[in-house]
Structure 1
């Protein structure tokens, strides 16, 4: 390829992978490879072709390897109703609050009672589209979580422990359920600074965390703006223990 491509046709994908157009068509029809329909033709995002080849154990062409040299390979973002389109699950999507409000991160409204599904942490769509992007938090020993637009995308077991919740409950949880009311203005101000270009919130940021089982906990946090997921934030916490 002459330069970085964001998408390609079925014919281009077939030629690149050394297979026939019917094979690529089968990958698409069987929902193994994501593609968007444009008129009578399909357009395949390069990142989705990369993800499919990698996860199915197939050889990745040298031309595509150049596309993935900057980091791990993820599927492109799809809205949940696009992901489930054509499946039995997808028949419920048009009555769902995520579809009606065109939400990208449907799991952030799981507590509304209006979401067309449940158990977001085990949902195939959440796992393939979002969880893969934040798996790194489970390699961090400190309490760590990723959040965007004031909702958590997930966190590690240390984060769940300090918040006194089950780890799966962190998925889609609003920060107002975690951060004490006295500390919310400070957190929102930190998010505003990051949005304006500050590289991080330094470790002298101290906030109070809610805890239903005990009194609120005081922690020192650092917050970092992530490149991927775009505009998401990584927060690391260190509990402050006073004797």
Structure 2
């Protein structure tokens, strides 16, 4: 469940002030807060309003809440409930049993749990990660060649390569990698690892 109330200490830390200052602001009505026992909690929307007012970049939990509220994921707009949304197409990766991820150019758009376990990352860590962090230089250059070839010949099928994967702890693993383009999303490629 997503967190919707934040302590005065958290809000004060984001603003760069003492928690007593944030508490005083709540008591004076500058910030809307909810009294919980002897302490105050700040609702997520109020925390976003205050941080935006002081032009402070939103921290992770607030940024994800704001993006969900505006209907965006990683800066990509999608239609909630639309059958052809980008988000739904990227969820295709979750349906694959083998380790797999989807990427556009140099950035990973999404990876399934099997791929994350294989390399020691969490799924959240994988989003937006540079492809060079999980593929060695040779394999990454093969991916780039494949991408360029698919731009000129979009009808071609998938290709198999032997390559090395790089784990979070600087470990390397040899793997057979199948690379294919997703016709439904231009410029997005799906990589499936077969050990």
* TM-score range normalised by the length of the shorter chain: 0.5 to 0.7
For residues 41-52 of structure 1, the aligned pairs below 5 Å read none
Indicate the larger mover: 178-187 or 143-152: 178-187
Gap change, CA 1:132 and 1:116, over 3 Å in 2: farther
Picking from 103, 111, 115, the partner of 1:159 is: 115
For residues 1-243 of structure 1, the aligned pairs below 5 Å read 118=60, 123-124=67-68, 125-126=72-73, 129=78, 130-197=86-153, 199-203=156-160, 205-213=161-169, 215-239=171-195
Q: 2:171 and 2:184 mapped to 1: Cα distance? A: 35
Highest CA radius of gyration, 1 or 2?
Answer: 2
Q: TM-score of the superposition, structure 1-length normalised? A: 0.46
Give RMSD over aligned pairs.
Answer: 2.9
More strand by share: 2
| 1:46 matched residue in structure 2 | none
Instruction: Flag the structure with more relative contact order, 1 or 2, with Cα contacts below 8 A and sequence separation at least 6.
Output: 2
Q: TM-score of the superposition, structure 2-length normalised? A: 0.56
Gaps of 5+ in 2: 1-47, 79-85
Gaps of 5+ in 1: 1-87, 97-114
Count of residue pairs the alignment pairs up: 130
SS class of match (1:200): coil
